[in-house]
Amino acid sequence: WDNEHIWWDPERFCGTTHILVPTKYLWMPDMTIEEMTEQDKASPSPNLNIRNYGWVEFRNDQVVISTCKMRVYKFPFDVQSCNISFKSIMHSVSDEEIKLFYYKNNSEISEWSRKAMETQYEWLFVSMTVTSKTVNHFGFNQTMIVYTINMKRRSVLYIANFLLPVLFFLCLDLASLLLSDTGGEKVGFKITVLLAVTVMQLILNDNLPSSSDKIPLIAVYCIGTFALMLLSLLETILVIHLINRDAWQDIEQDKTKDPVEGQEEKLTNSHTCFIGIKTCSSCASVSKNSADGRLSIGKEVRTLKGSEGRVTEVSIALEKMSDELGEIKKSITLLSSRQEEDKAGYWTRTAQKINKAFAVFYVTAAVLFLLFVSIMWYSADE
């Protein structure tokens, strides 16, 4: 700033063009940083540099801890902008004692700042811009010089340590579709992968700031991956349940198979027995007729004829019973054949169809989801 009360001729003072004066002897502007949350712990400079034409310089290096609104929607590919605003504590716009001005060449300011930064760790410096604005605090208009620092996050570490591992877990879950559904290893494998993704989500929760007003895309990426793996686990449980249901049905059919076969065997033996009785009865009738021709005694002939009539009635009754047993045997055979058809594995075939349909859906959904997240990361505006 310019102090109109100070001036001297360097030739009259041995060519001295500037002097250092303790700060307590001269007036200083009451400048502060609007966003600063903690007082600077470094000791301020004790001297002022005064030029012979009245120009006063005060240099004070500070480590500023300030507030900055984070926009982490595109984390870890986000670009942040933080402001450092300089203003007077007591003087207003109407007060002509202090007028703030700034250097308006933003490209040179950015280049100076880049050269001053010796190391850059998590954040990479992009540019710096300087603007001036007037704000009203409780009816008190003040001019502020605002330095806007633009920086982007170094995303390589997050890609290698977080995004790629989650993608690898998703690929492992896709590869688990090739495992057999007959054992429990597939379910255990999927649960292990699901727990690994859960651990990655906990790590992400520690890195993301909680002040974000929108759900970050990386959280959508984790939740979507977790949802796909959860659907895959539920589908595996359903398929194993259907296969086990088919196995239980086979066990029940094996239990009922022996009684049915026993009934068939009994009916077959009974039918054969009845046919044998019928044949024997016919043979007895023929033999009796032959004996009737050879014998001449009338009483014996009448006895044999009476026996022949009774044997014929029994033979007819047995023949009817044999036909009915044959129909019953056909019904039992048809029922047994239907049971054999059901035994071929209806639920297993259904499980295989579900597996094929879900595999197509899973691969398609995973590819579309990854494409959607990638496009949003590189094109979405916060």
261-278 residue pLDDT tens: 555 455 455 445 444 444
Residues 55 and 96 in one domain: no
Residues 149 and 241 in one domain: no
Q: Of the candidates 154, 170, 185, which is a domain's last residue?
A: 154
Residues 212 and 346 in one domain: yes
Residues 163 and 142 in one domain: no
Residues 62 and 139 in one domain: no
Is residue 285 scored above 70 in pLDDT?
A: no
Residues 286 and 346 in one domain: yes
- pLDDT in the model for residue 349: 85
The total number of structural domains that make up the chain? 3
Q: Would you list the DSSP string of 245-299?
A: HHHHHHHHHHHHHHHHHHHHHHHHHHHHHHHHHHHHHHHHHHHHHHHHHH---HH
Confidence of residue 251 (pLDDT cuts 50, 70, 90): low
- pLDDT in the model for residue 165: 94
72-95 residue pLDDT tens: 888 888 888 999 998 888 877 666
DSSP code at position 236: H
Q: Of the candidates 67, 100, 117, which is a domain's last residue?
A: 67
Average pLDDT over residues 49-67: 86
Residues 141 and 182 in one domain: no
pTM: 0.66
- pLDDT in the model for residue 365: 96
Q: How many angstroms from the chain centroid is the CA of residue 181?
A: 22
Give the range of the structural domain holding residue 25, as residue numbers without chain letter. Answer: 1-67
300-322 residue pLDDT tens: 444 444 555 555 666 676 666 76
Is residue 287 scored above 70 in pLDDT?
A: no
Residues 102 and 127 in one domain: yes
Residues 149 and 164 in one domain: no
DSSP code at position 162: I
Residues 115 and 29 in one domain: no
Residues 11 and 74 in one domain: no
Residues 6+ apart with CB under 8 A from 256: 339
Q: Of the candidates 98, 124, 154, which is a domain's last residue?
A: 154
**Do residues 77 and 151 touch, judged by C-beta distance below 8 A?**
no
195-223 residue pLDDT tens: 999 998 888 888 777 766 788 899 999 99
Residues 58 and 148 in one domain: no
Tokens of 192: 């292990």
134-177 residue pLDDT tens: 888 777 788 889 999 999 988 898 899 899 999 999 999 999 98
CATH number at residue 73: 2.70.170.10
Tokens of 53: 């034409």
